[in-house]
Amino acid sequence: MEVAPADAVVSTDPVEDPASRCALRFTWKIENFSRLDNKKTLLRYSHCWYLSMAHHLSMYLAVGDMENLPYGWSRCAQFSLAIVNQINYEDTVRKYFQLHKFTARESDWGSTTFIPLSELYDPARGYVVDDTCIVEVDVITDFNFREETDYVGLKNQGATCYLNSLLQTLYHIPYFRKAEESFYDLQLDVKGCKDVYASFNKYVEVERLEGDNKYHSGQPHGLQDAKKGVLFNEFPPVLQLQLNRNEFDFMRDTMVKINDRYEFPLHLDLDREDGKYLSPDAIRVGGVHGGHYCAFIRPTLSEQWFKFDDERVTKEDIKWALEEQYGGEEEFPQTNPEFNHTPFKFTKYSNAYMLVYIRESDKDKIVCDVDEKDIAEYLRIMLKKEQEEKDHNKKEKAEAHLYTNIKVARHEDLFEQIGRDIYFYLVDQEKVCSFRILKEMPFNLFKEEVAKEFGVSVQFHRFWFWAKRQNHTYRPYRPLTLQEETQSVVQLREISNKVARNAELELFLEVEIGTELDPIPPPCYKTKENILLFFKLYDPEKEEIRYVGRLIVKGSGKPLEILEKLNEMGTLFASRNLFQLIV
């Protein structure tokens, strides 16, 4: 749009010294407002600006001489844009823009919908009078956040505004800025310290960060001289001190153990309220690459010390428990002082690695009796269950010689396994039902157990021995006789072992199902005349094999005599069935 030149500005009110900070109000009286069709620079004062307004009254503040500014130029500014109400100044439409950084990429900033045109051109509203519009712009440049607010902001690293807001929120909670950390153990240096007190003094020394070791405070301040240190507000009731007896030897390029003498008191006084402690401790024997740990402890804080060395527990005196664990060197006199008066020295590799101190004022609470009620309920349940299992296993082991296992395979096992788990055999004995039975139990009583387990009355049972044949197949051999069923389980196991060479008794339970799907007494079987056959059906189209049933047939019979029953089993015509006969 075309506007008045700089000398036509109604007023320009500086607020502060422009050498350091520019805070001005610019007012333009724009005549012939409805005929504006281009833009022109309005004023030059430290920086050049022009008023950017679209035909629908979008209004922006833009940098007027961007092409003449040096590379990387930027300027932060706060500003407001206003359309003055010429009837009542209080009705002036003003929009504030808190802060914008003007750069080559973002050289203008403002509002696309500053005021509706219907309101702007309404004569009764007073924004355009006699085709004249008055615009006011307040601009504050070179804004210094620290000078203005006494605070500084955080640079947006790219979608980090939420994190910046959170950090500012936390920073302005002074309590949060105090970095207090709870602790139960401390790592103390041994090298260069003669005892625990010297290590504590070294631990709380103030470290000056200067020279090549300056503290990096981030941008824009970078490296700064600083002091770093630790202060103890209070100590825990149980204080564990880890003694650093290892360091890296740069000359030898390896870790070495520090065996220097290092003393630790039985009573530790840290010069604080509730700072008096009593000590048991732990030691390690050996070098940095190998050794052995054991512990010297006073379980009840009495004068008696105990050495816990894995499964060995021995009583020890205080001299060995404390003084002998200081490390360092020990001197022995020469055996021949006439030739050499220099005492013989050797390094003591047995020294303390960890010290445990109990606060004296809390010793009654810490060294206390632990009852069952002090153990969490879920732990009590778990421990009780573990103990019951342990007792059960112990009882089973003690009574193992009294029991034996009997595995019972059934018709249902063959249906379930053949074609899924096995193909060339009948059943996997590891997947059938197993019974743990007293060896001296009569077999008739065992049959009652089987009846309860499978829900089939004893009168419908017929048990078969398994036998391993010359072709290494494993098949039901013959039924148990009535006399054998009166014997004990261990006697039957001996009979089975002669035939099948099995340590356990393995049986096949035959249960015949009638036409109404109820169990019926098994058919007559004569050992010298009959054969028990098991049938598998192979489907060449599906390439599947499955178990379809069993039959007791005459040994002198022909396959055609059982063809009808085979068809009933396979539910297909004989001409389309391929049966595998297992004899």
Tens of pLDDT along 426-450?
Answer: 888 888 999 998 989 999 999 999 9
pLDDT confidence bin for 384, thresholds 50/70/90:
very high
Residue 189 has pLDDT above 60, yes or no: yes
Query: What pLDDT digit, counting tens, does each position of 63-105 carry?
Result: 887 778 788 788 888 889 999 999 899 889 999 887 788 888 8
**What mean pLDDT value characterizes the chain?**
78
| Residue 221 appears among annotated catalytic residues | no
- H helix runs in 487-562, sequence order: 489-500
Residue range 35-54: average pLDDT? 54
Considering the candidates 216, 221, 267, 292, report the single residue annotated as catalytic.
Answer: 292
Query: What pLDDT digit, counting tens, does each position of 118-134 carry?
Result: 888 888 888 888 888 99
Identify the architecture of domain 401-582 in CATH: Roll (3.10)
**Residue 469 or residue 199, greater confidence:** 199
**Residue 27 or residue 180, greater confidence:** 27
pTM for this entry: 0.43
Fold match, 185-365 / 401-582: no
Closest listed residue to residue 353, CA positions, set 292, 299, 426, 411? 292
Contact between 276 and 265 (Cβ < 8 Å):
no
Closest listed residue to residue 43, CA positions, set 146, 139, 181? 139
Distance of alpha carbon 302 from alpha carbon 485, whole angstroms: 70
| Residue 161 appears among annotated catalytic residues | yes
How confident is the model at residue 31, as a pLDDT?
83
How confident is the model at residue 14, as a pLDDT?
43
Extract the tokens encoding 397.
Answer: 């082991």
pLDDT confidence bin for 382, thresholds 50/70/90:
very high
Q: Which CATH number fits domain 185-365: 3.90.70.10, 3.30.420.40, 3.40.50.720, 3.60.20.40?
A: 3.90.70.10
Considering the candidates 161, 172, 221, 392, report the single residue annotated as catalytic.
Answer: 161
Residue range 281-290: average pLDDT? 54
Identify the architecture of domain 6-143 in CATH: Sandwich (2.60)
Residue 144 has pLDDT above 60, yes or no: yes
Residue 581 has pLDDT above 60, yes or no: no
Residue 29 has pLDDT above 50, yes or no: yes
Show me where the domains of the chain are located: 6-143, 148-177, 185-365, 370-398, 401-582
The percent of residues in the chain predicted with pLDDT above 70, rounded, is 79
Residue range 291-312: average pLDDT? 79
CA dihedral 229, 233, 236, 239 (to 10 degrees): 30
Of 39-48, 58-67, 444-453, the poorest mean pLDDT is in: 39-48
